[in-house]
Amino acid sequence: MQRLIEFAGNHPILAAAFVGLLVAWIVWEISQRFRGFKEISPGQLVRMINDEAVSVFDLGAIADYGQGHIASAKQISPSQIDPGSKEMEKLKDKPVALYCKNGMAAPAVAGRLVKAGYTQVHVLKGGLASWIADGLPLVKGNKK
């Protein structure tokens, strides 16, 4: 312990950087725990599709949807998701899974749904790219 204090005294910039990174990491972990939705892996999504009546939404562009999407997914743009619509209200207490091309847009939409009172919101971690990387199948065409 004495050597740690001596190191911090001799290298204040490194010690401050370490403390800053530690605080940032703790804040990040806490924010991840309390965001209200859960990130799931492609394997977990497959289990949900097979075991539960999960509603899967592809938040990508319609052209990307036509090139390949998860079998049970419905295409909808992030701006079109209205948590208060009659169709979406039916899903308020049911499992909902969201994904986009690379996992960047889906968390924002998931946050909106959680704020609106949805209780079982899931986001595919890494988006469709992680689904493809795991070698899972895609359906081609624009059937919704």
Distance CA 33, CA 17 (A): 24
Quote the domain boundaries for residue 127.
37-133
In a domain, 140, yes or no: no
- Tell me the average pLDDT of the chain: 90
Query: Which pLDDT value is given to residue 28?
Result: 84
11 and 78 housed in the same domain: no
- pLDDT tens-place string over residues 49-101: 998 789 999 999 888 898 999 998 999 988 888 888 888 888 888 999 999 99
What band does 144 get if pLDDT is binned at 50, 70 and 90? Answer: low
Distances in Å between the alpha carbon of 6 and those of 13, 16, 19, 104?
A: 13, 14, 16, 43
Count of domains forming the chain: 2
What band does 106 get if pLDDT is binned at 50, 70 and 90? Answer: very high
Query: Which pLDDT value is given to residue 75?
Result: 93
17 and 83 housed in the same domain: no
47 and 22 housed in the same domain: no
pLDDT at 141 over 80: no
Distance CA 14, CA 55 (A): 48
